[in-house]
Structure 1
Amino acid sequence: MIRFHKEGYKIIAITFIIVIAIILSVERFIDIIWITKSIQVFAIVFLIIVLQFFRNPKRVAVLDENTIIAPVDGKVVVIEEVEEPEYFKDKRLQISIFMSPINVHVTRYAMSGVIKYSKYHPGKYLVAWHPKASTENERTTVVIDNNSMGEILYRQIAGALAKRIVNYAKVGDTVVQGTDAGFIKFGSRVDVYLPLGTKVNVKLGDKVKGGVQIIAGK
């Protein structure tokens, strides 16, 4: 059975009502059969797109404090050492995962631990792969600390289509690896910042599965 994320319930309900209204009423206003059928088909396809975007497949992580799992589904587009300017203010290993509109957009905690920092930043809506998206787009920054890996930072970044980021992390919360951390609506990217020397288990271009696949560790 397909599960949907709670952040999509309202949008799904509104879309469903609009689509049903279009299907039932379009023939009253347009007499040309091929046009009415085309509009009805388009409405159904649009509903399917909305449903697949908000799907929330069940994922069960194998808990391991020595590993970092993918926080989202998508494609690995960055693996490099960078300066992290907001929290660490020093060199970190960045792994970035880009989500296309067809990917699952649920964000999951990459490791278990205590939330040390959580902040929302309003901003622009540059395409998610733009070099300045990490510092100029709408985004949230969250830092998790555990006894084994130390502090890691992940950043939800809105893309050109995204207009709202949902972040459940609150400072002081104890979170469990693989559980629901939030949602990014309609296209986005997540950056993960790790201590230098962390072993990376993925390479550029890899497609990863959020909540279960190990991307790095000791």
Structure 2
Amino acid sequence: MPASASAVDDYLKTIYHHTEWQTQPVTPSILAAELGLAPSTVTEMIKKLAAQDLVTHRPYGPISLTDAGRARATAVIRRHRLIETWLVREFGYGWDEVHDEAEVLEHTISDRLLAGIDERLGHPRFDPHGDAIPAADGTVERVPFVLLAEAPVGHTGRVLRISDRDPALLRSLGDVGIDVGHTVTATGPDAVNVDGGATVQLPPAGGRAVWLTA
């Protein structure tokens, strides 16, 4: 049975996103865990994606997007992140509320509406979590970054991105003043100074959800 377009998009988006902020390659087992699917299901889909020249994969090895796969992945990620930005700016959604809504809308809105959203928002380059919004031609803006949990004590950087995987963690980080664009200094294990003010304790796993300028 042919895979649905939305299922293909979800796989390609997840593969792309896995290596967007770190270098560990994605394997079928990692992909299965991230998608919450059985390994056998993922293996079967990867074969279908390879047959469509969207990914390359060798048995027991990592999965890579082809040029065609990357183009399709960046297109759907562009839709998702523009929708998230639109919901926050125009409808008052919190940054911890938009991911699931965008998951639904990215498969339903027309290209014309997406272009209108992009224009109305002033062609934003980043979504509310700091993830880069690919341009219409697929190009993506990149700057050197470091994961806060791996930054040495004394490192100061601007918050580039906060993972949207855990809405509760997003709210906890916001409560202690850590948001995209703020400047933080790593002062010790699970502690940071925010914008030159008081030192705050990070919530559990907070250091692995925040990326700073390197």
Normalization by structure 1: what TM-score? 0.23
Normalization by structure 2: what TM-score? 0.24
**Structure ranking higher on relative contact order (CA contacts 8 Å, 6+ apart):** 1
- Of the two, which has the highest radius of gyration? 1
Which of the pair is proportionally richer in strand? 1
